[in-house]
Amino acid sequence: GKNHHRQGTISNFVRDFRLLTPAGEVLTCSPADRGEIFWATIGGMGLTGIILTARIQLERVESAYVVVDYQRVRSLSDALSIMDESDARYRYSVAWVDCLARRDSLRRSLLMRANHATAAEVASRAPKPLALPHRITLNL
């Protein structure tokens, strides 16, 4: 995800799963039970079988929205430096790097960093309802 710099990989959130192996067995795996198969599956790109079900740890958030900050930077080194400096302030971060730009703009980037929106932030950004005039006149 876009939060691995703060939260780690998906393996930190998977409690256990049921795995259909190539031999046709269904195994329940977790870090404590069949740990070797659990870790091989988490990083194995499907080589150990098919995950049938998984129990994952979710986090309660106030809203379904995030507040995103955008920042343009001139070079890849600037992008990496700024991302490193701001990692503690943002839950999510990603960068778009322009690898096709001309020499003078080589590796320019767009940084996108975000945090979960609070209920108050969502309410303050809600669009205002349309106001219709009390009396509508029509001309034919």
> Which of 56, 79, 94 is the C-terminal boundary of a domain?
56
* Domain range for 48: 8-56
Residue 24 forms part of a structural domain: yes
Per the structure, the count of domains in the chain is: 2
Closest CA to 101 of 71, 72, 81, 75: 75
Q: Kindly report, residue by residue over 53-67, the tens digit of the pLDDT.
A: 999 999 999 999 999
pLDDT for position 85: 93
Residue 48 forms part of a structural domain: yes
pLDDT for position 7: 84
**Low-confidence spans in the chain with pLDDT less than 50:** none
Residue 35 forms part of a structural domain: yes
Residue 32 forms part of a structural domain: yes
- Same domain flag for 81 and 114: yes
- Same domain flag for 51 and 70: no
- Classified as helix, coil or strand, 4 is helix
